[in-house]
Amino acid sequence: MTDRLLSRRGVLAGAAASVAAAGVARVAEVTSRGDVAAADTATTVIPFRGERQAGIATPQQQHAQVAAYDVVDASLLATTLDAWTEAAERMTAGLPAQHDSGEAAGLAASRLTVTVGFARRSLRLPAFRNDALERRWSGGDVVVQACADDPQVAHHAVRTLTRLGRGLRLRWVQRGFLPTTQGTPRNLFGFSDGTANLRGTDTKLLDEHVWTDDGPPWLRGGSYLVVRRIRMHVEKWDASSLYEQQNAIGRSKSTGARLAHAPHSHAALARPEANGGVRLLRRGYSFDDGVVDGRLDVGLLFLAYMRDVERFVRIQRALAAHDEMNEYVTHVGGAVFACPRGLRPGESWADFV
Ligand code: HEM
């Protein structure tokens, strides 16, 4: 199975193994989640190149797999990033990667996006109250966020980049999922999550809150990514009353409507009005990773993109100090990365290092 012969998507079988062939598939618009009709999503190709990296303002796919790597040999980084660019461009088009491992053969593009980011020395988050960050879920020099509607396609993307990652050592991988719902998805506390989020179509708000214009040229037009692995103590949550739950979140569990009298609730404290107007583009996924110490290891893989990390710091400081939801959650992992602008034709991620 050479990469020339093996085409992942049936629709492209026999076509020249050129990414330009992806043009035959339906190309997704950047719209809010749910706007892409379910029937279309399998063959939908999200363009890999453009002004912005895909996977940030792109409507959320069903599954995410996020991997962080330590750079152990910096002299190999450019070679790796060249290989990653080629592989990511092919896989997002539904084509096999170089010497493909085959586990995604026959699967459609599934709206795969591959987004990369780099740690920077100047990029550090302060410790927050109640943080219980573990090394095994934290840090890293380079991050890959692969999102797709098929979990095996997301797996294949991270596995392939890991295989091609010369001079890198895998540090952590985290997986997340969303329910298959047309509306705002519910998180594992049973509440709609994303109601007041920015939308991929809010171009003006994204310019104001998400795309950055500082830093080196490769970062201008990119964004900062904050990752938090947040365990949700669902045993305790399930033992609490609906009244307590709604007071902790600040929204109605059934309708998602904002509660007027819950000043220390999560939704009230996270509001832009309470934080000098700052907003984040949240892109979180639920995780369900089995058992730790006899309890379910479940929670939120919090992913948020922003113009500067001070935005996250400001909101998280307020939440860490007063949020009634804290009783039910613990932050066990954290990392922050600078995600470059999109690649122009002919460019490679190696051009940014
Ligand atoms: C397990 C942890 C978390 C859960 C279960 C959770 C859940 C929710 C829910 C249910 C809402 C209301 C619906 C919505 O507007 O999306 C919400 C809103 C929000 N959350 Fe969280 N969240 C968590 C962690 C965080 C963290 C760590 C941050 C940032 C530091 C954050 C920032 C926000 C923001 C900015 C809003 C929108 C507030 C508004 O504009 O009204 N959340 N969250």
Are 303 and 113 in contact by the 8 Å Cβ rule? The answer is no
Could you report the per-residue pLDDT of 106-147, keeping only the tens digit for each? 999 999 999 999 999 999 999 999 999 999 999 999 999 999
CB atoms within 10 A of CB 131: 17
In this prediction, residue 43 carries a pLDDT of: 87
Position 14 confidence tier, pLDDT thresholds 50, 70, 90: very low
Position 40 confidence tier, pLDDT thresholds 50, 70, 90: low
Residue 19 has pLDDT above 80, yes or no: no
Write the DSSP assignment of 259-304 as a string of letters: PSS-TTSHHHHHSGGGTTT---EE--EEEEEEEETTEEEEEEEEEE
- Report which of 188, 164, 199, 203 is spatially closest to residue 82, judged by C-alpha positions: 164
Q: Is 87 in the pocket of ligand 1 (CB under 6 A)?
A: no
Q: Is 249 in the pocket of ligand 1 (CB under 6 A)?
A: yes
**Treating both helix axes as pointing N-terminal to C-terminal, what angle do 151-164 and 77-92 enclose, rounded to 10 degrees?**
160
In this prediction, residue 9 carries a pLDDT of: 42
**Mutational test site, ligand 1, from 232, 258, 275, 302, max ligand atoms within 8 Å of CB:** 302
Position 8 confidence tier, pLDDT thresholds 50, 70, 90: low
Q: What percent of the chain has pLDDT over 90?
A: 86
Position 42 confidence tier, pLDDT thresholds 50, 70, 90: confident
Q: Is 312 in the pocket of ligand 1 (CB under 6 A)?
A: yes
Q: Is 195 in the pocket of ligand 1 (CB under 6 A)?
A: yes
In this prediction, residue 18 carries a pLDDT of: 42
Q: Is 301 in the pocket of ligand 1 (CB under 6 A)?
A: no
Stretch (H or E) spanning 313:
helix 310-322
Averaged confidence pLDDT in the chain:
91
Position 181 confidence tier, pLDDT thresholds 50, 70, 90: confident
131 C-alpha vs ligand 1 centroid, how far in Å?
Answer: 17
Closest ligand 1 atom to the C-alpha of 193? 16
Mean pLDDT of 1-12: 37
Query: Residue 277: what are its φ and ψ, rounded to 5°?
Result: 85, 0
Mean pLDDT of 234-257: 98
Three-state secondary structure call for residue 184: coil
Dihedral of CA 324/330/336/341: which sign? Answer: negative
Nearest residue CA, atom 26 of ligand 1?
A: 316
In this prediction, residue 16 carries a pLDDT of: 35
Three-state secondary structure call for residue 231: strand
Are 146 and 158 in contact by the 8 Å Cβ rule? The answer is yes
Three-state secondary structure call for residue 147: strand
Q: Is 228 in the pocket of ligand 1 (CB under 6 A)?
A: yes
Residue 39 has pLDDT above 60, yes or no: no
Range name among 22-36, 160-174, 253-267 with the lowest pLDDT average: 22-36
Three-state secondary structure call for residue 220: coil
CB atoms within 10 A of CB 175: 20
Residue 309 has pLDDT above 60, yes or no: yes
Could you report the per-residue pLDDT of 196-242, keeping only the tens digit for each? 999 999 999 999 999 999 899 999 999 999 999 999 999 999 999 99
What tokens does 347 get?
């460019």
212 C-alpha vs ligand 1 centroid, how far in Å?
Answer: 22
What tokens does 224 get?
């900062």
In this prediction, residue 41 carries a pLDDT of: 73
The shares of helix, strand and coil residues in the chain, as percent rounded to the nearest 5, are: 30, 25, 50
In this prediction, residue 3 carries a pLDDT of: 34
CB atoms within 10 A of CB 311: 23
- Report which of 75, 125, 55, 39 is spatially closest to residue 339, judged by C-alpha positions: 55
Nearest residue CA, atom 24 of ligand 1?
A: 302
